[in-house]
């Protein structure tokens, strides 16, 4: 069995062990992106790109079905380079190329895992971005911690400085829940605090930025109140890390949606889980006021939620707008003044 077949077998085995029932998009045209969208962040106009590649090799995170948008098999560098061409030759208009201030690149796994995402294609992307998007100030790359090669990142960082506007590298790591038991025993993230702090120290040493993904209420065992408390504990922890290493940290806070083909979807179908309320998200975000981190609230389920499994409910429209405004400005005023009574809340059904 060659390495490519071995990685595909590992992906299938881990997917089955965690009782996920989704399949993979093996028939997807490998020259086309898996997904993309535009959003507004503190840095300005932002493009989020999801490249189509081989699926995440970890494959164990409880409520995650994002690997289902990928292939279980290896995708070579040539078709991924065609995806890069699509971004810069067809997707972006001339004005958007000038307006973009931030680009986030993902493959719903680890961009820095060279076994699932081509290093050749990554360097090709950097070159085309330098040529076509002169005003990008931040490039964010998603990866699990174990795939971070610091010498490779140093080379990437030097390449980013060769553009018309020097671009800062931001490393994005999934943390999901602050509590160790929730994060690793329940959610199966496989990330220790020691590993994360080692990454944070090196990010600071190289002068990079750090984005940390957290989830609100990621497991069925967590009540609404406990979910809020876990995020607040995470905010305090990240603020301490930012202070310790003089490091720029952004918490990317994702309210949990019920992902198709996962055990979370089964709990939802039994009535043992409800997605978090946006009022809870707002309450957690307010805890970051005055802290040495920024917060971005993810408000996109990428079309991967089961019917009724979104965290956005009828009546949430104005709060969504307030959170989007916060993402652009980091101004807590509008959120502080918000009245929870304006939002229709659903009864809580979970424990702990």
Ramachandran quadrant class, 26 (left: phi over 0; alpha: psi -120 to 50; beta: rest) = alpha
Q: What is the largest CA-CA distance in the chain?
A: 60
Residue 348 confidence (pLDDT) above 90: no
Question: What three-state secondary structure class fits 221?
Answer: coil
φ, ψ (nearest 5 deg) of residue 337: -85, -10
Residue 225: what pLDDT? 97
Residue 158: what pLDDT? 93
Residue 278 confidence (pLDDT) above 60: yes
Residue 2 confidence (pLDDT) above 90: no
135 within domain boundaries: yes
Partners of residue 252 on adjacent β-strands: 213, 296
Position 346 confidence tier, pLDDT thresholds 50, 70, 90: very low
Residue 50: what pLDDT? 98
How many folded domains does the chain comprise? 1
Number of C-alpha atoms within 13 angstroms, CB side, residue 255?
25
φ, ψ (nearest 5 deg) of residue 109: -165, -105
CA distance 331 to 163: 31
Residue 334: what pLDDT? 79
Residue 341: what pLDDT? 57
Counting every residue, how long is the chain? Answer: 352
Helix (H) or strand (E) holding 141: strand 138-142
Residue span of the structural domain in which 50 resides: 3-342
Q: Supply the pTM of this predicted model.
A: 0.93
Helix axes 193-206, 224-245, angle to 10 degrees: 40
62 within domain boundaries: yes
| pLDDT digits 0-9 by tens, 49-83 | 999 999 999 999 999 999 999 999 999 999 999 99
Position 175 confidence tier, pLDDT thresholds 50, 70, 90: very high
Give every CB contact of residue 121 below 8 A, 6+ residues apart in sequence. Answer: 51, 77, 80, 81, 83, 84
- End-to-end Cα separation, the chain, in angstroms: 46
68 and 261 Cβ atoms separated by less than 8 Å:
yes
325 within domain boundaries: yes
CA distance 89 to 84: 8
351 within domain boundaries: no
Radius of gyration of the chain (CA): 20
137 within domain boundaries: yes
CA distance 179 to 189: 11
| pLDDT digits 0-9 by tens, 82-131 | 999 999 999 999 999 999 999 999 999 999 999 999 999 999 999 999 99
Burial class for 89, CB neighbours closer than 10 Å (0-12, 13-18, 19+): exposed
47 within domain boundaries: yes
Which CATH number is 338's domain given? 3.20.20.70
* Average per-residue pLDDT for the chain: 93
Burial class for 245, CB neighbours closer than 10 Å (0-12, 13-18, 19+): middle
Q: CA angle, 37 as apex, 62 and 293 as ends, to 5°?
A: 65
CA dist 290 to 154, 245, 340, Å? 32, 18, 22
CA distance 284 to 263: 25
348 within domain boundaries: no
Helical spans, DSSP H, in 149-192: 150-160, 180
CA distance 178 to 175: 7
Residue 3 confidence (pLDDT) above 80: no
349 within domain boundaries: no
């Amino acid at each position: 069995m060659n390495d490519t077949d071995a990685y595909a077998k590992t992906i299938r085995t881990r997917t089955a062990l965690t009782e996920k029932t989704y399949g993979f998009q093996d028939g997807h045209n490998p020259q086309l992106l898996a997904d993309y969208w535009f959003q507004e962040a503190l840095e300005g106009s932002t493009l989020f790109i999801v490249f189509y590649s081989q699926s995440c090799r970890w494959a164990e995170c409880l409520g995650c079905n994002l690997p289902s948008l990928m292939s279980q098999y290896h995708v070579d560098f040539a078709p991924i380079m065609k995806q890069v061409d699509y971004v810069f030759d067809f997707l972006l208009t001339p004005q958007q190329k000038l307006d973009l201030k931030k680009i986030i690149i993902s493959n719903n796994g680890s961009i820095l895992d060279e076994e699932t995402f081509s290093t050749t294609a990554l360097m090709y992307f950097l070159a085309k971005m330098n040529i076509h998007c002169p005003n990008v100030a931040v490039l964010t790359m998603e990866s699990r911690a174990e795939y971070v090669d610091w010498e490779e990142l140093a080379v990437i960082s030097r390449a980013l400085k060769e553009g018309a506007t020097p671009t800062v590298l931001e490393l994005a790591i999934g943390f999901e829940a602050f509590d160790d038991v929730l994060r690793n025993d329940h959610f199966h993230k496989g990330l220790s605090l020691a590993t994360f702090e080692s990454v944070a120290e090196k990010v600071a040493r190289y002068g990079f930025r750090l984005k940390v993904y957290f989830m609100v209420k990621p497991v069925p065992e967590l009540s609404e109140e406990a979910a809020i408390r876990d995020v607040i504990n995470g905010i305090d922890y990240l603020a301490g890390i930012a202070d310790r290493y003089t490091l720029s940290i952004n918490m990317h806070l994702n309210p949990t949606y019920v992902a198709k083909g996962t055990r979370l979807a089964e709990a939802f179908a039994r009535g043992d889980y409800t997605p978090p309320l946006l009022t809870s998200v707002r309450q957690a975000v307010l805890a970051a006021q005055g802290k040495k981190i920024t917060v971005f609230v993810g408000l996109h389920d990428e079309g991967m939620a089961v019917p009724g499994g979104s965290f956005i409910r009828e009546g949430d429209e104005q709060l969504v707008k307030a959170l989007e405004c916060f993402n652009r400005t980091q101004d807590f005023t509008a959120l502080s003044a918000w009245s929870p009574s304006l939002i229709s809340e659903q009864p809580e059904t979970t424990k702990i």
